[in-house]
Amino acid sequence: MIPFSPPRIDQKIIDEVIDTLKSGWITTGPKTKLFEKRLSEFNGAPYTLCINSATSGLELMLRWYGVGAGDEVILPAYTYSATANVVIHCGAKPVFVDVGDDFNINPEQVRKAVNSRTKVIMPVDFGGYPCDYDAIFAIVNDGQVKNLFQAGTPEQKMLGRILVLSDAAHSLGATYRGKRTGSIADCSVFSFHAVKNLTTAEGGAVSLNLPVPFNNESLYKMFCVRILHGQDKDALAKTQRGNWRYDIVEAGYKMNMTDILASIGLVELDRYAADTLVKRKWICEQYDAAFKDKPWAVLPVMDSATTHSCRHLYPLRIRDAAEAQRDDILQRIFNRDVSVNVHFIPIPMMSFYKSLGYDIGHYPNTYKLYASEISLPVFYDLTEAQIHTVTSAVIQSVEEVMAS
């Protein structure tokens, strides 16, 4: 069975983890701090905070910005549940909008959804393809929209507009107008979950890119305290002789990354641009070549004049397929020993969100894309022979179903 997205665990990873274990420092320490520094250098962001998950990072930033009861956060209907769940946890209201044919949030729909309760827009870089950030920032900087904005916290007054908080869980290494994600939005949150194209097993990072008068260095230091129970000294600082005494300066959270996880990330990041992304691009190009002449195949957008994907996913669409047909195709591909997936079941289709009154019927393009989408395997160790097996399984399965 060809798997969908296994992590790349080779001797370099194993050696680095063993080095960490032997160092005696396995929680947040020197390797986590080095990983943060390297991520900032890679992305071009002023400061980067490593955390235990992207979900934690999104909630951390929403709470920092003072999002709470009575507030609204605009996000795409086509995303994973974590993007919306954090809004619920903060007591605010998720406002879903439809997406464009590139699977990303539709700026026109965002503009229609903005009102005086809007505090944050959370675009999602679907599959590693960045959103149209120029269009999103044009909205939040528009004079009429700024006049609508009602600042309720010091942070909101400092920014003076809607916060652009990017869910960049898929898009490490992708670029928009020559800038890597992490240096585009006000804040960007990455995921390093096991299935991501750069993994630390579990984990994530927040890139801080806030404009003046914010001081990103000061914010980074404050967040280091906030993600460790509000303790004013981490374990590394307390190892200094006689430096045992600490204080709790706020009721913080437990969101820190460990050095074991960071050690995996350091190896992955060191070879990411020159190796990992090159291989992922090659795999997607093989898929393009196999499907480009098939009338039923809608190939995913990977590159444009302004935007370049990091190819986290290969979301193939089956033209004019109904959801039941797509599901039949999926099963036939599985029966041919190839693992595939669907990204994602839209949030308004989930029981919890349906119980709150959300209806997928309000997001027709989201449903259209979901009903016809199949995510194909993209992982570093995928071989040319396996790619042939995948494409043959897809072609045979689609043509069996669409001909019936």
**Backbone phi, psi, residue 120, to 5°:** -145, 145
d(CA 370, CA 327): 11
Q: Using the structure block, give the residue that is written with the tokens 């927040």.
A: 206
72-76 and 118-121 strand pairing: parallel
d(CA 327, CA 396): 15
The CATH code belonging to domain 272-403 is 3.90.1150.10
3-state DSSP of 11-50: HHHHHHHHHHHHHCCCCCCHHHHHHHHHHHHHHCCCEEEE
> Would you say 359 and 258 are in contact if contact means Cβ atoms under 8 Å apart?
no
Give residue 208's pLDDT: 98
Ordered strands of the 47-51 beta sheet? 47-51, 204-208, 187-191, 163-167, 118-121, 72-76, 93-97
Q: DSSP characters for 134-166? A: HHHHHHHTSHHHHHH----SHHHHHH-S-EEEE
CATH 3.90.1150.10 domain span(s) along the chain: 272-403
Query: DSSP class of residue 184?
Result: S
Kindly indicate whether the domain formed by 11-270 is annotated with CATH number 3.40.640.10: yes
> Would you say 148 and 104 are in contact if contact means Cβ atoms under 8 Å apart?
no
Give residue 234's pLDDT: 79
Give residue 300's pLDDT: 98
CATH 3.40.640.10 domain span(s) along the chain: 11-270
Long-range contacts of the stretch 132-140 (C-beta < 8 A, 24+): 132/104, 132/107, 133/164, 133/166, 133/176, 133/177, 133/184, 133/185, 134/177, 135/107, 136/105, 136/107, 136/110, 136/164, 137/164, 138/107, 139/107, 139/110, 139/111, 139/114, 140/164
Q: Which helix (H) or strand (E) segment is 63 a member of?
A: helix 54-64
Structure tokens at 326: 């797509």
Give residue 221's pLDDT: 96
Give residue 235's pLDDT: 74
Low-confidence ranges of the chain (pLDDT < 70): 238
Give residue 403's pLDDT: 85
Reported as a single tens digit per residue, the pLDDT across 114-127 is: 999 999 999 999 99
pTM for this entry: 0.97
Give residue 53's pLDDT: 98
Give residue 129's pLDDT: 98
Give residue 368's pLDDT: 98
Give residue 236's pLDDT: 73
Give residue 107's pLDDT: 98
